[in-house]
Amino acid sequence: MNDSDVCRLRIDIAYDGSRFHGWAFQPGLRTVEGEVQDAISKVVHKRVHITVGGRTDAGVHARNNTFHVDVPSAYIEECEKKGKDPYGTLKHSVNAILMYTSEAGPYGTCDVVIRSVKPTHPQFDARFSALNREYTYRVADNSESFMPTRRTDILWFYHSLHIDEMNRAASFLEGEHDFLSFCRPREGATTIRTLEKLFVERDDEGNVCIHAQADAFCHSMVRTLVGTLLYVGRGMRPALWAKMRLEQRERNGEVIVAPAHPLTLERINYPETQAEQIQQITKTKRKRVLCEDER
């Protein structure tokens, strides 16, 4: 199929990761990619392939993840001949399928939903066009701020956290570094990343929110950063321990990986113009040509 036979779409999606084995397709397991790819294929009457900007792990949620997909131009033309908005129709149809196949529960609940569908240029790449990814990890460190209705996306922590010390530790980790001590390395993949933001604050409900933003994250990197900050916040390690772990560049017995369920992918940010998006693809591929695990 050449470019004239397909239309590239940019699709934003949200999901509760509790009942998924992560984003990436795995035979015999329920994954976000598997469910969504099947649903779109049914609607456009052709098997499609989707490329996502953030490949979340099992149990991790997303308020706004982004992927691109090429659908047959014939589907777009057929909708327009019938006087229908092809993008709104696709969104409605896919969400209807996802609702009926959802394992989230009764009464029309759904654990994955398409938020928006927009046409984009053929060079747009949800993975390589991305400027950065933003995550939030939420912790309730006292019984007053913990709500059982939020048990699937907040960690109930039995120790009060010292936010100032956590932020001090986080300051040592910002910037471009080799984060080998904070991720699961893969053969042939670089562990160098630019951690643009890492900070801790309390929200209006009193929960501790750990915010992380980077050009990309290695496997388990966010949860390991969080685990490190939680140890510091609890007083089990000094803030300088985070700096020491970074400089060690070694994945050893000091690795603490926080649970997955309180982690949410908030959004993926992209350049505004087509030219900037294409330029970002070249920049990203040049920087991580060997890396296959942007998350």
> Would you please indicate which residues are annotated as catalytic (active-site) residues?
57
Angle at 262 between CA 196 and CA 173, to 5 degrees: 25
* 212 DSSP β-pair partners: 135, 198
Q: How far, in Å, CA of 54 to CA of 67, rounded? A: 8
Tell me if 72 sits within 8 A of 6, measured CB to CB.
yes
Q: How far, in Å, CA of 116 to CA of 90, rounded? A: 10
Q: How far, in Å, CA of 160 to CA of 163, rounded? A: 9
Q: How far, in Å, CA of 192 to CA of 293, rounded? A: 12
Q: Which distant-in-sequence residues (6+ apart) come within 8 Å of 27 by Cβ? A: none
